[in-house]
Amino acid sequence: MPSSLKVPALAVMVILTLWSLLPGQTAPPHNAKSQAGPADLTGVWSWTRHPPDNTRKYTLDELIGTLGTEVPPMTTSGQAKFNAARPNRGPHAVLLSQTNDSVLTCFPPGVPRIYSIGLGLPFEIIQVPGRVIMIFEYDHFVREIYTDGRQHPADLSPTWMGDSIGSWEGDTLVVDTVGFNDKTWLDQLGHPHSDALHVVERIRRVGHDSISDDITMDDPKTYTKPWVARIVFDSRPGWKIEEHVCEDFLNSTGLQKITESTK
């Protein structure tokens, strides 16, 4: 074999070695292509606004922001937390001045609510060896889903967005997230959860311009059985993630008017 054919392989090894020397990094596996994923989910996406049927007109709140009508029965403690919620959207909406929604004081929205915040602001998926990265336009939250075979840390501390690891089942990205605190809602309507929440997502392409996310939310402290929902995201070619600062958004003088007009 001519020596010139060995140069690309050598160059790859040098790049991997230099990358591993960066602070906090470890060398990615040699099978980098397969670790990036057998399916290409890259691009900018947002919650679809296509109605599920043509039987009636749907509001934006119904299309974006809710996880369907099949809410499982709550436990006693779960129902108490739901009764205490004061959402600014939906059938039990209150004024912004009366809400206790932590998102409206710029705290992280959690998972899966991050997808619906801001009436479905877009997010971008980037795939690199060992990780799938979601960059959300909303306050520029970054969600890292590790696909390098690691497990959840044994001493996991509760966080707003949880700890996410992923694996590939064929062309489906399976995302396992645990380690949540109990300070967020699952949707815009104030459905609560506890620190026992376990979210499993199965993300796959359902067409050239769409991906689906089948979400299972298991929280025995709050619901008597798992809550299963599906979100479909549409591709937004040509879009890019714009600047979004939560504090600026909340200080907008027209926020109350905008909110009321979308109910």
Percentage, residues of the chain above pLDDT 70 = 81
Reply yes or no on whether the pLDDT at 3 is more than 70. Answer: no
Q: What is the CA radius of gyration of the chain?
A: 21
Angle at 68 between CA 111 and CA 90, to 5 degrees: 85
Reading the block at residue 92, the tokens are 């039990």
How big is the CA angle at 110 (ends 206 and 211), to the nearest 5 degrees?
5
- Section 206-224 average pLDDT: 97
Does 114 have pLDDT greater than 50? Answer: yes
Q: How far is residue 173's CA from residue 70's CA, in Å, rounded to a whole number?
A: 24
pLDDT of residue 203: 98
Cβ burial of 58 (10 Å; 0-12, 13-18, 19+) is: middle
The pLDDT assigned to 129 comes to: 95
pLDDT at 250: 62
Per-residue pLDDT at 132 exceeds 60: yes
- How confident is residue 65, by pLDDT bands cut at 50, 70 and 90? confident
Work out the average pLDDT over 69-92.
93
* Closest by Cα among 61, 53, 66 to 231: 66
251 contact partners, CB below 8 Å, separation of at least 6: none
pLDDT of residue 251: 59
CB 121 within 8 A of CB 139: no
Q: Mapping DSSP to helix (H, G, I), strand (E, B) and coil, where does residue 127 land? A: strand
- Classified as helix, coil or strand, 16 is helix
Instruction: Read off the pLDDT of each residue in 174-189 and give the average, rounded to a whole number.
Output: 97
Report the DSSP beta bridge partners of residue 214.
202, 230
Q: Which of 24-38, 119-133, 151-165, 203-217 has the lowest mean pLDDT?
A: 24-38
What is the reported pLDDT for 16? Answer: 44
17/197: higher pLDDT: 197
Residue ranges and CATH numbers for the domains of the chain are 3-30 (no CATH), 34-261 (2.40.128.20)
Q: Please state the rounded mean pLDDT for residues 71-98.
A: 94
